[in-house]
Amino acid sequence: MRVVSRTAIVRGGRSVRDGIAPGSPRSKIAQGRYEVSRHAEEELKNDDFEVADLLSGIASGRIVGRQRDTQRGHLKYVIRGTATAGRFIRIVCRLMRSGDVLVITVFEDKP
């Protein structure tokens, strides 16, 4: 099952669309233009996260790295943010040809 959203993320009483660079992975997700891979779904469950934690991590996070996929050539973004319960979460995602974001994996970012 893939999670596909078409709703905006709201944080602190305002949409996270405010002040986000257009075309960035974060802005695409704020617009609801994302899919969660099966692997990312499994990792969410393994680390006791939910989709709300993923969205919170993106809304609160920042891009801490960019990686080039050596096999496919895709540019992947690594985002570090805070999940709903205050734990740190890392999200690895990439832009698809459609312009939507594919969340590849997520994991708890332990200090």
Domain spans of the chain, in order of start: 3-108
Instruction: Report how far apart, in Å, the C-alpha atoms of 78 and of each of 13, 24, 67, 68 are.
Output: 26, 12, 8, 11
Amino acid identity of residue 99, one-letter, is G
Gyration radius from the chain CA atoms: 13
Instruction: Reduce the DSSP state of residue 105 to 3 states and report it.
Output: strand
Check: CB of residue 53 under 8 Å from CB of residue 83: yes
> pLDDT at position 74, please?
87
**Tens of pLDDT along the chain (111 residues)?**
344 443 343 333 333 344 445 567 878 888 889 999 999 999 999 999 999 999 999 989 999 999 998 888 889 999 999 999 999 999 999 999 898 999 999 999 987
Residue 93, CB-side half-sphere exposure with 13 Å CA sphere: 31
Instruction: Report how far apart, in Å, the C-alpha atoms of 32 and of each of 7, 46, 72, 85 are.
Output: 5, 24, 25, 22
